[in-house]
Structure 1
Amino acid sequence: MDINQIKEKMLKDFQPSELYAITKCWDCPNAVMEISKVEEDLKKLLKEIDFSQKQQERLGGAKPKPHDVFSLAIAGCPNSCCQPQIKDFALQGQAVPRIGGGCTGCGQCVEGCPDRAITLNEEGPVIDRDLCLNCGQCAGICPTATISIGQRGYRVTRGGKLGRRPRLAGEICALTNEQGALSLLKETIDLLHGEGNPRERLGTLLERLKIY
């Protein structure tokens, strides 16, 4: 069996029950957000707007291929084991650190930050927000609670894909709550179904419309 025959068989056997797929992280001690509820709410929204039927209508009756399945990911923390960077739409848990008083200069936050985003001065820790990925580890190891979590929520990205012309997802919101994330998903799907060509991936559509 040559490669074309293998591809033909794979496409023949491809029969998804829905034209969307949600990948989420497993239960993990690094998680900064509990993601089970948001997963259910994403599924609920996709069913309420009859996403699979509308996606099928875009295909004009053609049999769906794997890249016609709208891919979503929910990551519990910035480690992003479920690969949100290559999904059509994704949420990434965020725990934004804030700095208070009481620092003893122990340096544990500096040593423990995986992104080298923290330095110490005479007044205490300083966080480089351009380097910080909001993983919350510094707050977890600070013995004096000088660093704590100020806000929790989701970073929202969209437009990632692999294939012939891979593209990393782009950020559309740095921090939002669950309702904000659902609103952004609805907005994204309206754009896809309103402006997208048949079989056009979201990332390709965003590039065509010059939306970044």
Structure 2
Amino acid sequence: MKYQSPLNIPKDNISSPYSIITCKAGQSGCKNSLIDTKKTAEEIHRILEKIGLGEYIKSKTNGGKIPYHMKFKAAVAGCPNSCSQPQIKDFGVSGQAMPIAVLNRCTECMECVVICREKGAVDVIDARPVFDYNLCVMCGDCAKACPTETIIIAKKGAKVMANGKLGRHPKLADVIAEFTNKDEAYELLRKLVKERMKK
């Protein structure tokens, strides 16, 4: 199975029952990546093969070409930038990292505020970084930028999304779990696929 970068997607293979796309972190590495996208994509492929999803989809077409809307589409993104577009796939995984502030170290350099692309997600008040987690996308850039390690990453994991699609009736995927570890994410995939195969 070839894992494709969204920057260079080859023509869809008409015989393939599913596609698994990674962001460029899975191809050449990326400084923003919070999870190993290549290994995650390989494990998704292994799980789909073991469950027999490919054979199930092929059985629905009586051996003919598999229409695009019948293919199972998965995407793995290394960070919340989501270059591989997991929000519009049947199953999507995106790396995330939750920043927190450690007291009594902040020098009010404001590097965290400068680096943050989400206006208002982090501010420095009384020599302490303060986060608005409703605005924070959990990229972890503020922690990387902090020269005093006042901001650290409290937890890392994967946001797991399901049931996104484009087409005539587009729908963004539902977030079904956040900050999952690998095993939890893979178990969610198994459940999703098994439910779909009951239909």
Q: Return the TM-score normalized by structure 2.
A: 0.86
SS, match of residue 40 in structure 2: helix
* 1:107 is the counterpart of 2:110: yes
Alignment of 1:38-53 (within 5 A): 38-53=40-55
1:66 maps to a residue whose letter is Y
Name 1:209's counterpart in structure 2: none
* Equivalent position to 2:164, from 135, 160, 164: 160
Unaligned runs of 5+ in 1: 1-12, 196-212
Letter aligned with residue 104 of structure 1: T
In the other structure, the counterpart of 1:21 is 19
Q: CA deviation at 1:62?
A: 5.2
Measured on the aligned residues, the alpha-carbon RMSD in Å equals 1.7
Q: Highest Rg: 1 or 2? A: 1
Native 8 Å contact 1:58 1:193 kept in 2: no
Please tell me whether residue 119 in structure 1 is matched to residue 123 in structure 2: yes
> Higher helix share goes to which structure?
1
Contact 2:53–2:197 at 8 Å: present in 1 too?
A: no
User: TM-score scaled to structure 1, two decimals?
Assistant: 0.81
Once the two structures are superposed, the pairs formed by residues 124-139 of structure 1 within 5 Å of their partners are 124-139=128-143
- The aligned runs of 1:167-206 (5 Å cut-off) are 167-195=171-199
Measured after TM superposition, the shift of residue 30 of structure 1 is: 1.3
Contact 1:14–1:65 under 8 Å retained in 2: no
- Unaligned runs of 5+ residues in structure 2 are 1-10
Q: Identity across aligned pairs (percent)?
A: 39
What amino acid does structure 2 have at the position aligned with 1:172?
A: I
Q: Is 1:144 matched up with 2:142? A: no
Going from structure 1 to structure 2, the CA distance change for 1:90 and 1:15 (only over 3 Å counts) comes to closer
Are 2:38 and 1:36 equivalent residues in the alignment?
A: yes
Give the deviation of 1:174 after TM superposition. Answer: 1.5
**What displacement does 1:34 show?**
1.8
Q: Indicate the SS of the match to 1:131.
A: coil
1:190, distance to aligned residue in structure 2 (A)? 1.2
SS of aligned partner of 1:30:
coil
Q: Give the number of equivalent residue pairs.
A: 183
1:86–1:167 Cα contact (<8 Å) kept:
yes
Q: What SS does the aligned partner of 1:21 have?
A: strand
Contact kept in structure 2, 1:77 and 1:94, CA below 8 Å? yes
Bigger drift between 60-69 and 37-46 goes to 60-69
Asked whether the 8 Å contact 2:21–2:41 carries over to 1, the reply is no
* SS of structure 2 residue aligned to 1:148: strand
- Quote the Cα distance in structure 2 between the aligned partners of 1:50 and 1:148: 42
